[in-house]
Amino acid sequence: MSAPGTWFASPADAAARLTATGYLADTATATTTFLAGALEKPLLLEGPAGVGKTELAKAVARATGAELVRLQCYEGLDEARALYEWNYKKQLLRIQASQAVEGGQDWDQTHDDIFTDEFLLTRPLLTAIRREEPTVLLIDEVDKTDVEVEGLLLEVLSDFQVTIPEMGTVTAVRRPYVVLTSNATRELSEAVKRRCLYLHLEYPDAEREREIVLSQVPDLEEAVATQLVTLIGRLRELELKKAPSIAESVDWARTLLALEIKDLDDAAVSATLGVVLKHVSDTERAVKELRLARA
């Protein structure tokens, strides 16, 4: 375990420890991953879906023995789902119970009783801030939230503290390692970007992806792995609704291994294309452009 406040000793240490978890990081990724911990700044990862942004956060948690706390962003996400909310049903029961006692309690006593930790439902942001153990906070697909949510994130990313009106301000005892991911479906505010280190991830080149596939599926024959990544590259060049992700490349490799396919010929591709393409229109385009015979 790293010493308190330290995540990786150097970029080389980051690269080695990420590799040990199965995540092959290039020089830029390893360097930025190291700096995010050393400078205690959030890391903003941007790029198309499926290039390993979320997986990098998971790999940091595995490499450092930290707990991963994940906030999955979506349209309509609000403060109650991101930070905290009160357990209103439990509070109501406590109020009713206090009134049932002979003489009852005055409101001030009841108020002090129901606005305590016992009735607080912590959500990912507050959970990560309150933890004293090493924590990786993953704010996933932040570009899917409404712009207003960014204001909420600013307080957290600037001061690593949350204000709860009924209880006061909660300040992080130990700053979490924060990773934000974005598929760039909308431009994030400059205020958020200023608070983060930035790294743009793209699909790896064929040789790097071949290394990734073989590291995850070591029993796959190298010749088949080469065929696979070459074909994946051709698929990504097509105008598809959803290009194959790195994870889907690995799934395809596992599929070929399970089916004992030794040559990724047209018949094998047609029979297994559904592992990497998840839209009918994408499959039809691939069959047409690659001139495949239908399975």
Give mean pLDDT, residues 11-40.
96
Q: Please count the structural domains in the chain.
A: 3
Tell which wins on pLDDT, 93 or 125: 125
Reduce the DSSP state of residue 164 to 3 states and report it.
strand
Would you say residue 98 has pLDDT above 90?
no
Domain shared by 108 and 175, yes or no: no
Cα dist from 232 to 1, 5, 53, 209, 229, whole Å:
38, 40, 19, 10, 5
- Calculate what percentage of the chain has a pLDDT beyond 90: 65
Give the residue from 137, 169, 200 where a domain finishes. Answer: 200
* Strands 120-122 and 84-86, bridge-based pairing: antiparallel
| pLDDT for 2 | 40
Q: How far is CA 84 from CA 122, 130, 162, 211, in A?
A: 5, 12, 10, 42
Query: What is the C-alpha to C-alpha distance for residues 283 and 292, in angstroms, rounded to an integer?
Result: 10
Same-domain status, 155 and 139:
yes
Whether residue 110 sits in one domain with residue 69? no
**Residue 93, pLDDT above cutoff 90:** no
Cβ proximity of 219 and 257 under 8 Å = yes
Q: Render pLDDT for 128-153 as a digit per residue (tens, 0 to 9).
A: 999 999 999 999 999 998 877 888 88
Structural domain containing residue 240: 206-289
* Residue 214 and residue 267 share a domain: yes
Please state the pTM of the whole predicted model. Answer: 0.84
| pLDDT for residue 140 | 96
* Last residue in a domain, options 173, 200, 227: 200
Q: Are residues 59 and 160 both part of a single domain? A: yes
53 and 201 Cβ atoms separated by less than 8 Å:
yes
pLDDT digits (tens, 9 = 90+) for 46-56: 999 889 999 99
CB-facing half-sphere around the CA of 187: CA atoms within 13 A: 3
Shared domain check, 238 and 108: no
